[in-house]
Amino acid sequence: MTSTPSLPAVALVASCELPTPWAVFRLHGFQETASGKEHLALTLGQVGDGVPALTRLHSECLTGDGLFSLRCDCGPQLEAALAAIAKEGRGVLLYLRQEGRGIGLLDKLRAYALQDQGLDTVDANRALGLPDDARDYGVAAAMLNTLGVPAVRLMTNNPAKVSALTARGVNVTERVPHVAGRGPRNQDYLETKAARMGHLLPWLEQD
């Protein structure tokens, strides 16, 4: 890391134990100074030693993470990431409050309603006058910085996450494909991510 671009200010407010079915993680609560927005990090093992940490940036999906929705793959991806970190005994999961790729919960439900009428995930956002993807990963870089994690092996199928973190001064040493929760109810959703949003899904993967 030669020069670190300016990152949004975040405060680490509190840390505690979080026992899960996979491991006992450390749970860290962050707050963005400018907006007051709250985010979480789960860490396992010594992640501040400079060795690239197995890392997942998980974008909040209340319907998938908490309500078992089969419209997307978020819930199974969250579980798989925690399981992978536990298996390795070391790593980081950032739980970013970027619901609906950053458009928010209620606009995501508006987009779902349009998808129920046949639009795909991209066109539904556009019909609402919203960006395809409104996420900004500056806060993720700031959280990793605070945790003392300069380098990551990133679990993702989304190249935009790799380039965004890299541009924010995080050394992404490897992209680890992260596939979980594929099923008939989210097949179109996954195909759209691959075809229109540049996601590298294994059955279409070219790298």
156 annotated to bind ligand: yes
Catalytic residue among 110, 135, 168, 175: 135
Joined together, the tokens standing for residue 139 give 């806060």
Which is catalytic among the residues 133, 136, 153, 168?
A: 133
The site map against ligand GTP for 22-51 (x = CB under 6 A) is ------------------------------
Report how far residue 67's alpha carbon sits from residue 50's, in angstroms, rounded to the nearest whole number. Answer: 36
- Applying CB under 6 A, which part among 15-23, 55-63, 145-153, 163-171 lies near ligand GTP? 55-63
Cα distance between residue 45 and residue 26, in whole Å:
9
**Whole-angstrom Cα distance, residue 45 to residue 51?**
12
Residues in the chain: 207
Contacts of 7 (CB under 8 A, 6+ apart): 138, 139, 141, 142, 145, 168, 169
Number of residues forming the site for ligand GTP (CB under 6 A) = 22
Check residue 74 for interaction with ligand GTP (CB under 6 A). Answer: yes
| CA angle, 39 then 147 then 102, to 5° | 30
* Residues sharing a CB contact under 8 Å with residue 120, sequence separation 6 or more, in sequence order: 188, 192, 196
121 lies in the binding site for ligand GTP (CB under 6 A): yes
Residue 178 interacts, among ligand GTP, Zn ion, none and using kind-specific CB cut-offs from 5 to 8 Å, with ligand GTP
- Using the contact rule CB under 5 A, the part of the chain among 14-22, 63-71, 113-121, 174-182 near Zn ion is 63-71
Which positions make up the binding site for Zn(2+)? 61, 72, 74
- The residues of the shown chain that bind Zn ion, judged by CB under 5 A, are 61, 64, 72, 74
Which positions make up the binding site? 56-61, 72, 74, 77, 99-101, 121, 156, 161
